[in-house]
Structure 1
Amino acid sequence: MSFRTRLGLLVAASVAVGVLAVSGVALWIARAEARSALDRKLDDRVAVLVASGGRLPERRGVQFFGRFVPRDVLVQIVASNGAVVYASDEVLPVAPADLAVANGRARRHRTDVSADGVRLRVLTVPVAPVGALMVASPLDEVDANVAGLRNALAVVAAIGVAGAGLLGFLVAGRAIRPVRRLTDAARNVAQTQDLNQPIELERDDELGELARSFNAMLEALALSRAQQHRLITDAGHELRTPLTSIRTNIELLARAEQAAAQPPLDDESGERPGAQPGLDPDERRQMLDDVLFELDQLTDLMAELIDLATDQRSLGEPTVIELPEIVAAVADRHRRRAGVEIVTSLTPCRVEANVALAERAVSNLVDNAVKWSPPGELIEISVVRDVDQAIVRVRDRGPGIDPGLRQLVFERFFRAPEARALAGSGLGLSIVDYVAHTHGGSAAVVETDGPGTTVELRLPLAPGPDSPPADTD
């Protein structure tokens, strides 16, 4: 069943419930009002009979006492012992409640009775010294009026429900028209893989918000696809260079091996047929070092590509970590590995981040500083607090970065002209920027007093009342 049909049926059902409720209340009010009018009529007839001075009407069909005759009611007098001493027509049934009125134990009593198949409304009042006076009037007119109103309401309800259902069906068709456009657009995107198809829907309601959310999703998917395409293109380019170098060196080494396995000397000429010059040990060692270097480059490049492609959610939820402890561990590791002098200044602070990503970002900052620092120069690492952020700053004593390139260094595979002769993939600082933005922070190259470059990583502080005061020195 379609949404449009379900909505039409829902509207019809809602209207039906409302109409039934209103009809029930209207019938109840109409019936109560009709019975109240009949009760007032019986009260009036009792007053007329009491005012007649005890004169009672004769049997029905006999003219009696002129204007004192209540011709539209039945009159009956019941003695205290229950005997009917007078009846203007057929005898009315006497109930225990009527006897209680005749005996003086009750003041008056109203009830509905049935006599010879006719429903009657009966009012019983005490009449001294005889007993009780019973006045009755048929309920036919009341029942007929209520039945007529009930039938009229049933017809109106049927027409109203049918009309509401049809109107709901038509309104639902207009209401879901934007949803159909969204459905068609999503189907078209799935079939054509074309993400540049925004939904033109200028509305200020929930459907307009849905269309804007859909367009935002398309824009995000298009940006993700463009970034993915760029990553693949750049990665292919970066992979091609070391692979070409490795292939060339391996081919030269293979030829050298073939030259080493030469045939014996020719007896007549004293030469080796097809002899080729071989490689001396230094050249061979240099080629092997080049191959190992390019393999290390490929290994680092693949590791960094995996870091960029890994979904943060697969690494676990962020936890509260002591940032200075991670920075100190990374600094110690680089001291041992690179043999450089690293000075640290660490202010206690905690951040809420993924441990592996935070450690990777700090390690990339230090790797970058180690690569650019001249031999014998120290590297400075500091951790400070700035209001609601923790700041990791890493400074080297290298040649520095041109101000026009400070933002470009965080792009994937970007390498400054002077860096192309050095080891690296161009992904280190882009991973730092990715980790920073993933955790709601930022990364930037900041001004440095003196030679060198300072790169900082900002991460939001973890919430907690025990955080030390800010220190931005």
Structure 2
Amino acid sequence: MIRRLLNTTVFRLSLVYALLFSLVAGAAMASIYWVAAGQIREQTDARLQLQSDLLINITKTYGSLQALQDAIQTRNEEHDDRAEPHFYVYALTTNTKLPFTKKLTAEYVSEDGRRVFGTLMFSDVLDIVNLDVEVKRDAYARVIITRLQGGAQLLVAADMSEQNTLLLKLYNSMWLAVGLMFLLAVLGGWLMGYGVLRRIDSIRQTAGEIINGDLSQRMVVTRRNDEFDRLSLVLNSMLQRIENLMKATREVTDNLAHDLRNPLNRLRNRLDTSRFQSMDVEHFQQLRQDALQDVDDLIKTFNALLSIAQAESGVHRDDWTSIQLDQLINDLGELYEAVAEEDGIRFSHTAQPGLVLQANKHLIAQVITNLLDNAVKYTPKDGLIQLQAEQQQSHIVITVSDTGPGIPPEERERVFKRFVRLDNARSTPGNGLGLSLVKAVADLHGAQVELADNQPGLKVILRFLA
């Protein structure tokens, strides 16, 4: 489990982000440290300059270096009386041949010519100035040297042990904070990886059950609405679609076996009759004609199934063109007007001029033909069939209506399934695939199919986006 957790992408990404965040945080804290250290140095330098100015003012007031020397001695003695280490150390040299600066390397020189020195041990400072005072000899000192008139030099040094201790604590605290942030990030990555691994295990377990044949299984969807839930919803929709297709395939197989059995049996019986019975030429010709009709019916059934399968798979999607729908309606209307007239049925067709539809022309013509075939088949003598095409707002609407028996409202969804034939249609020729093809082609084109009551009869409405 731990090995799998360490190998998860979430944990690895968390580790990378933890490293990057720690580096950025370390850089930010290092900047804070250097700013704080610089601020402390500036404040210390300001205090050293103030101490130097106070002593220099004594020289200016009394006009002699001896007064300055006495003031320095007094200050050093005052520190000795306190029985505590000196914070400031003062020294004055009038020996211009061996000034302090010959033994020290300046950190920088101020605008008024004062030399500032850092990172010096107090013991080194005392050796340079030859003083014996109580100080923290192992502490660092910050020194400012001011050159006076006549070549004399005034040295003022400050104990930096407290400031350095503060900076050290700040330094340690910063790195401790960076380390804690890194550990917390790793722990967070561990926990997130564990949560992701649990979700993936759940999906994998469900997928395994589906692979074993249980298509009713679905991915678990929580209330978090995270990416796993959204993925699970998509997978569940896909699984539902697959289950419906498998169920439809089983139904089609069952219906196909049932509906093909009768014509195949009739064909076999006719062939047996022609084989074992003697008959005249006229009888044989009729038998052959009936056998060919059975074969044609079988071919029509398979062609219809193939057309439905192609429409559902989107094979013809690349064959879309701009169809002059009004011209197509008029052509089909003229053709079926003659067919309806032979059966004593009235027929009318109208199409709004200039209608253009982006679609597969062959499939649209086949859909309208199927609907008109059904209308002619079920409309009684002296009935009326109407074919219309018009634009209604953002839709192009094709309507085929008849005055036949119609379809009950409770059956209007079921008739779109393959091989479904209502009781009043079983005595008429057909295979129950016409409306299935209409629905498949409509879905391919993103259209809506509606079956409505024509009072009397049936009205089929197709709505395409203009």
Give the TM-score taking structure 1 as reference length.
Answer: 0.74
Distance 1:189 1:10, change over 3 A: farther
Aligned residue type for 1:24: A
Quote the offset at 1:437 in angstroms.
Answer: 3.7
2-structure distance, mates of 1:77, 1:7:
65
Q: Distance in 2 between matches of 1:57 and 1:337?
A: 137
Residue 27 of structure 1 deviates from its aligned partner by: 1.7
The corresponding residue for 2:74 is: 66
Matched, 1:281 2:258: no
Q: Secondary structure at the match of 1:50?
A: helix
TM-superposed deviation, 1:158: 3.1
SS in 2 for 1:53: helix
- Residues 121, 332 of structure 1: alpha-carbon distance in 2 compared, 3 angstrom cutoff: farther
Given candidates 363, 370, 385, the residue that maps to 2:369 is 363
For the residues of structure 2 that align with 1:396 and 1:430, how far apart are their CA atoms?
A: 19
Task: Describe the SS at the equivalent of 1:293.
Answer: helix
Q: How is 1:138-217 mapped onto 2 (pairs within 5 angstroms)?
A: 146=167, 149-190=170-211, 192-206=212-226, 207-217=228-238
In the other structure, the counterpart of 1:467 is: none
The match for 1:297 is 297
After superposition, the C-alpha distances for 1:82-134 in whole angstroms (9 at most, x for unaligned) are x9477468644579x85xx7xxxx43566556889999756566756869867
Once residues 150 and 381 of structure 1 are traced to their aligned partners in structure 2, the CA distance between those partners, rounded to angstroms, is 88
- The answer (yes or no) to whether the contact 2:348–2:387 under 8 Å persists in 1 is yes
CA RMSD of aligned residues (A): 4.1
Contact 2:203 2:220 in 1 (8 A): no
- Does the aligned pair in 2 maintain the 1:58–1:88 contact within 8 Å? no
Deviation at 1:346, TM superposition (A): 0.3
Counting only pairs closer than 5 Å after superposition, residues 48-447 of structure 1 correspond to structure 2 as: 48-53=54-59, 65-67=73-75, 72-73=88-89, 84=96, 87=99, 91-93=103-105, 106-107=111-112, 123=144, 146=167, 149-190=170-211, 192-206=212-226, 207-256=228-277, 278-310=278-310, 311-317=312-318, 321-332=323-334, 334=336, 343-348=348-353, 349-373=355-379, 379-396=385-402, 398=404, 400-401=406-407, 405-447=411-453
Q: 2-side partners of 1:91 and 1:249: how far apart?
A: 128
CA contact (8 A) 2:221 2:232 kept: yes
**Are the aligned partners of 2:337 and 2:348 in contact in 1 as well (CA < 8 Å)?**
no
User: In 1, are the aligned partners of 2:33 and 2:167 still within 8 Å (CA)?
Assistant: yes
Is the contact between residue 89 and residue 158 of structure 2 (CA under 8 Å) also seen in structure 1?
yes
Distance 1:360 1:125 in 2: 107
Q: Kindly state the Cα deviation for residue 319 of structure 1 after the two structures are TM-superposed.
A: 5.4
SS at match of 2:314: helix
| Cα distance in 2 for residues equivalent to 1:231 and 1:52 | 115
**1:115–1:416 distance in 2 versus 1, CA, 3 Å:** closer
Corresponding residue SS for 2:432: coil
CA distance in 2, matches of 1:406, 1:244: 31
Displacement of 1:389 in angstroms is 2.5
User: 2:463 aligned to 444, 447, 459, which one?
Assistant: 459
**TM-score normalised to structure 2 length:** 0.75
Structure ranking higher in helix proportion: 2
Instruction: Quote the Cα distance in structure 2 between the aligned partners of 1:57 and 1:359.
Output: 121
> SS state of the match for residue 52, structure 1?
helix
Residue range with higher mean Cα deviation, 46-55 or 338-347: 338-347
- The alpha-carbon deviation at position 8 of structure 1 amounts to 4.5
194-203 vs 294-303, which moves further: 194-203
1:332-361 alpha-carbon deviations (Å, 9 max, x no partner):
555688986853200143444443432321
Question: Are the structure 2 counterparts of residues 286 and 448 from structure 1 closer, same or farther at C-alpha, using a change threshold of 3 Å?
Answer: same
TM-superposed deviation, 1:315: 1.4
1:112 and 1:316 map into 2 onto residues whose CA distance is 84
User: CA offset at residue 423 of structure 1?
Assistant: 2.3
Shift of residue 396, structure 1, vs aligned partner: 4.0
| Matched residue SS, 2:397 | strand
Letter of the 1:107 counterpart? D
Task: Count residues with an aligned counterpart.
Answer: 426
Runs (5+) with no aligned partner, structure 2: 1-6, 80-85, 126-139
The SS at the match of 2:418 is coil
For 1:118-158, what per-residue CA distance to the aligned partner results, in whole angstroms no more than 9, with x for missing partners?
Answer: 99756566756869867566878766754564345334533
Give per-residue Cα distances to partners, 1:429-455, cap 9 Å, x unaligned.
Answer: 1221232344343323333356xx343
CA contact 1:111–1:123 (8 Å) conserved in 2: yes
- In structure 1, C-alpha distance between the alignment counterparts of 2:31 and 2:269, rounded to whole Å: 96
Contact 2:106 2:116 in 1 (8 A): no
Residue 428 of structure 1 and its aligned partner are, at CA, apart by: 0.5
